[in-house]
Every structure is written in C-alpha cells, then in structure tokens.
C-alpha cells in the first residue's frame, strides 16, 4: 500500500512522561516529536473527567503526512510501568475512518502482549495484501472521507451564524486560520470539515486538525503559509493582533467556546464584507438558522461562490492589471476581487 508510510507506538508512564518506544520504518525526528506532542495532548476539560487522558486528537497532519491515533489504558501485566498506550499510523492520504480503524486494530494487537512484533506482523500484512484480520483497505472510499465524519453545519455554521462568512472568506482567499476549542477529540474532526467551504478546490493539504505550542509545530505552520489549524491551548490565541512589528501567526481565529471570529488588525480590510458577498452571507445565515444538511449546504455555497469567482474572472479579463476597476465592480469590492484573483492563481499583468 503506497499511501501507508509508518506506524509508531507511544507510551505514557505514571509520572506523565511520554516517549515513542517503537516505529517501523524509521521516521525523521521532527515528525516523531509531533507525534509525541499530540499522542496524549492535554485538553481544557474538567479535571474530574477521568477519560481525558484518552481524548486527544483522533488525527492530525504534519508536513505531508496524516497522523491517525488510537489510545487505551495499558495492560498492567504486559506493560507494568505504563499507564496509557497509543498507536499512530502515518499515511499520505486523508481518510480518518480507514486509518483510524487500522490504528485501533494495531493498538489492540500491541496491548494484548506488549510486543511490537505483533504490530509489525499486521502492518506488513497491510503493506503486502492491503488487509489484516477483518480490516480491508478496499472497504474504505477516500472520496467519501471528504464529506463523512463531523458536520460542518452543526459544528461550525450553526454556532457561528453569520460570522461563518468571515471563515469562508479566509479559506477562499487562502489565509491563515486558527480554530480554538477545549476538547481536542472533537476539535480535529471539525477542523477537517473547513475545506468544504471551498468545495471546488477539494484541498485538504491546508488542514492541520490539531497542533500544539511546540516550536517544531509552529515552525511547520509558518512554512506552510496557508493553513487551517486547530488548537486547544488558549495561550496560542496570542498569535493574533501581535504587538509592535511581531508578525501574527493567524489572520483569523475562530473561538468556538465564545462563538466569536477574531480578525487580525493588520488584515481587517481584507475581510470587509461588501455587496459582492451578499448572496453568500444571506445563504450562510439561512443555513445556520435552519440547521441545513451538509450536502445541501456545500452545494448551495459552491454555487454562490462559483458566481463570485466567475465575476472576478470576467473583471480580470477586462482589466488584467486590476488597476481601473471603478466601472467594473463596486468600489467596496475592489480589494476583495484583487485578493481573490491572486488566490485563484490569476497573474495580474503589470501589477
């Protein structure tokens, strides 16, 4: 299986120490560190939530590799010094049901006896025959994974209401998006729904479902340039509206507990909603109020977004430099149209 890259076993001891105890085949140090950071990432859940240690992100992404986690309490007989065990499957493909199930199967194989050879045997079965036990690679559809899982409307559109327009604008214009929530196990699947806002692109490469405050992960975000990243550490909200000349990490932050969307002051003009956006904004508000099904919402937003992109392309055809838009578009939309042209990869002549 060419999209399957590696599998790792991560353990947490009674003192809270976390380490990657086994990986096959070898992976680079930064990827391993990101796995260790995320395997048992703390959430802001109440301290009396005894299952919190098992409620980390089910999946995330670092550089070009998707990470799929499964966690459980350790077998005290097989691993007497270990409290919690996790298995992480690395793949080039986004398919949480497929690789989440595989991670769980490999975890169960390890926990029974605490022997990595049991994991290796099943992993090699998958690489050779695309199957192991009851798991079959062909039972999972990669395309279906793009619309399965969490609901975009229930999880983001309904809580945010009209403010979802700002999130749509950010993704459409290829900006840097942060999404904050307290429960990493629920956050990551929600973040993975955001590319549905620009369905025509079907670009899940921008998604980082869960990141921590670790410098390696922050550097990877900066290098990515365009992203939608989830985080549960409230201290990361400081990376917007940064003081002085310090560049912000995020252009907008969606704060789900407060149901607010915060736009960085430096790019506030890029998020000004004008007459051009009216149809989309109205549709988003109606969708939030009616709790529309995801498929209907994606289709309706796609249709309205396509009209805006077509309008921009018509304007670009008449004015390739986009320096004289007064007779072609409403004044309040000039900045947006230019930004959208750049996001869509249209070269502005003599710009």
Q: Sorting pLDDT into bands at 50, 70 and 90, what band is 245?
A: low
Residue 252 above 90 pLDDT? yes
Q: Sorting pLDDT into bands at 50, 70 and 90, what band is 63?
A: very high
> Given this model, what pLDDT does residue 15 score?
87
Let me know if residue 11 belongs to a domain: yes
Under DSSP, the state recorded for 157 is I
Residue 13, domain CATH: 3.30.450
Q: Sorting pLDDT into bands at 50, 70 and 90, what band is 48?
A: very low
Under DSSP, the state recorded for 58 is S
Residue 70 above 50 pLDDT? yes
Let me know if residue 220 belongs to a domain: no
What are 68's strand-pairing partners?
59, 89
21-30, 54-63, 93-102, 154-163: range with lowest mean pLDDT: 54-63
Contact in structure between 70 and 102 (CB atoms under 8 Å): no
Total count of domains within the chain:
1
Let me know if residue 277 belongs to a domain: no
% of the chain with per-residue pLDDT over 70: 95
Residue 49 above 70 pLDDT? no
3-state secondary structure of 159: helix
- Rounded to an integer, the average pLDDT of 38-55 is 65
Distance CA 316, CA 154 (A): 36
Distance CA 321, CA 198 (A): 25
Evaluated on CA atoms 303, 307, 313, 317, the torsion sign reads: positive
pLDDT in tens, 199-243: 999 999 999 999 999 999 999 999 999 999 999 999 999 999 877
- The tokens 């077509």 sit on which residue? 310
- Rounded to an integer, the average pLDDT of 233-261 is 90
- Rounded to an integer, the average pLDDT of 291-296 is 93
First CA to last CA across the chain, in angstroms? 46
Residue 9 domain boundaries: 4-145
Residue 43 above 90 pLDDT? no
Contact in structure between 229 and 179 (CB atoms under 8 Å): yes
* Strand-pair category, 18-24 with 4-13: antiparallel
For 80-200, where are the E strands, in sequence order? 82-91, 131-132, 135-136, 176-180
78-87, 197-206, 235-244, 317-326: range with lowest mean pLDDT: 317-326
Residue 322 above 90 pLDDT? no
Let me know if residue 113 belongs to a domain: yes
Residue 257 above 60 pLDDT? yes
Distance CA 170, CA 165 (A): 9
Structure-block tokens of residue 344: 């869509």
Instruction: Report cis status (omega within 30 of 0) of the bond before 25.
Output: yes
Let me know if residue 140 belongs to a domain: yes
Q: What is the dihedral of CA 254, 260, 261, 263, to 10 degrees?
A: -120
- Rounded to an integer, the average pLDDT of 67-86 is 93
Let me know if residue 78 belongs to a domain: yes
Let me know if residue 18 belongs to a domain: yes
Average pLDDT in the chain: 92
Residue bearing the bigger pLDDT, 54 or 118: 118
Structure-block tokens of residue 90: 């690395």
> Given this model, what pLDDT does residue 137 score?
96
Let me know if residue 37 belongs to a domain: yes
> Given this model, what pLDDT does residue 52 score?
59
- How many CB atoms lie under 10 A from the CB of residue 49? 11
- Rounded to an integer, the average pLDDT of 249-260 is 97
pLDDT in tens, 107-153: 999 999 999 999 999 999 999 999 999 999 999 999 999 999 999 99
pTM score, two decimals?
Answer: 0.94
Residue 172 above 90 pLDDT? yes
């Amino acid at each position: 299986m060419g999209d399957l890259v590696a599998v790792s076993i991560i353990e947490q001891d009674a003192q809270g120490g976390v380490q990657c105890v086994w990986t096959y085949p070898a992976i680079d140090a930064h990827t391993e560190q990101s796995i260790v950071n995320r395997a048992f990432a703390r959430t802001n859940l109440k301290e009396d939530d005894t299952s919190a240690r098992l409620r980390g992100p089910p999946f995330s992404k670092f550089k070009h590799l998707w990470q799929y986690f499964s966690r459980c309490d350790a077998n005290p007989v097989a691993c007497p010094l270990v409290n919690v065990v996790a298995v992480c499957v690395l793949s080039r493909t986004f398919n949480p049901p497929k690789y989440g199930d595989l991670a769980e199967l490999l975890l169960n194989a390890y926990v029974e006896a605490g022997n990595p050879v049991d994991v290796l045997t099943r992993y090699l079965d998958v690489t050779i025959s695309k199957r192991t036990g009851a798991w079959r690679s062909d039972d999972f559809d990669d395309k279906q994974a793009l619309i399965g899982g969490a609901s975009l409307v229930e999880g983001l559109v309904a809580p945010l209401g009209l403010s979802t327009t700002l999130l749509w604008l950010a993704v459409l214009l290829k900006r840097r998006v942060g999404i904050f929530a307290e429960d990493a196990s629920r956050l990551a699947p929600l973040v993975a729904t955001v590319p549905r806002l620009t369905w025509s692109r079907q670009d899940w490469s921008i998604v980082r479902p869960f990141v921590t405050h670790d410098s390696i992960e922050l550097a990877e975000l900066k290098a990515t340039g365009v992203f939608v990243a989830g985080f549960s550490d409230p201290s990361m909200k400081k990376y917007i509206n940064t003081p002085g000349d310090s560049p912000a990490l995020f252009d907008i932050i969606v704060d789900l507990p407060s149901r607010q969307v915060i736009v960085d002051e430096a790019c506030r003009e890029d998020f000004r909603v004008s007459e051009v956006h009216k149809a989309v904004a109205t549709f988003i508000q109606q969708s939030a109020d009616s709790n529309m099904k995801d498929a209907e919402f994606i289709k309706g937003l796609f249709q309205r977004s396509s009209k805006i992109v077509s309008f921009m392309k018509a304007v670009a055809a008449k004015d390739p430099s986009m320096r004289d838009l007064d007779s072609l578009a409403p004044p309040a939309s000039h900045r947006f149209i230019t930004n959208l042209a750049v996001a869509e990869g249209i070269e502005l002549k003599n710009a």
